[in-house]
Structure 1
Amino acid sequence: MQNCEVCKSKFKWKELLFSIWSSYKPVECRGCGKKHTISFASKFFVSFLIIVPAVIFGLLIAPDMGLSKVVTFVLIVMMAFVISLLLPFFVKYEVKPKEK
């Protein structure tokens, strides 16, 4: 789990999860108040981990199993939800640069 780059306070899993779910909203450190934004590489990583398994399952696995479109959609949504619960352990945040 990520720590604040300034004061080394540990972010809570819940803070990072809601940041990801709310379109990468910046996370504010409870210790020093610095705002952290998700890195570009982590945004790519999040998208990759959600989209690739969904596409593989939806196009390759589900048709071979004979699943209906509705069941396939529900399973893809559930899979994306479960993957999103693990993302706070992998994403990296950076101190937000000063705005001019």
Structure 2
Amino acid sequence: MGGEMGGEMGFYLALAAMAAASYACRVAGYLLMGWVPITPRLEAALKAMPLGVMVGIVTPAASSGRAPELLGLVAVAVVMRLSGKDVIAAVVGAAVVALARRFLA
């Protein structure tokens, strides 16, 4: 019983450390960008960054060629085309992948 409690405490400490590190990165980025002049080139790079992150997340899933992931990509493309809202498309894509994994597996 004592070992379980120690493992649980370790989990909560790791979770708190990850939350603190995530928050520190956000705050540091915000504070440091206050000192950086925003040129058109930097602005373009900052605007392209979310797309680069999404490509990095989606590429391994798409290259696996499994049906749930491919259905999710199709759903994202359709929702993006119809709505133009990337957050909605990402949520719909994740839901389609989850449902497809549940019912196709």
Band of TM-score, shorter chain: 0.3 to 0.5
Q: Identify, as 1 or 2, the structure richer in strand.
A: 1
Higher relative contact order (CA 8 A, sep 6+): 1
Larger radius of gyration: 2
> Normalized against structure 2, the TM-score is what?
0.34
Q: Identify, as 1 or 2, the structure richer in helix.
A: 2
> Normalized against structure 1, the TM-score is what?
0.35
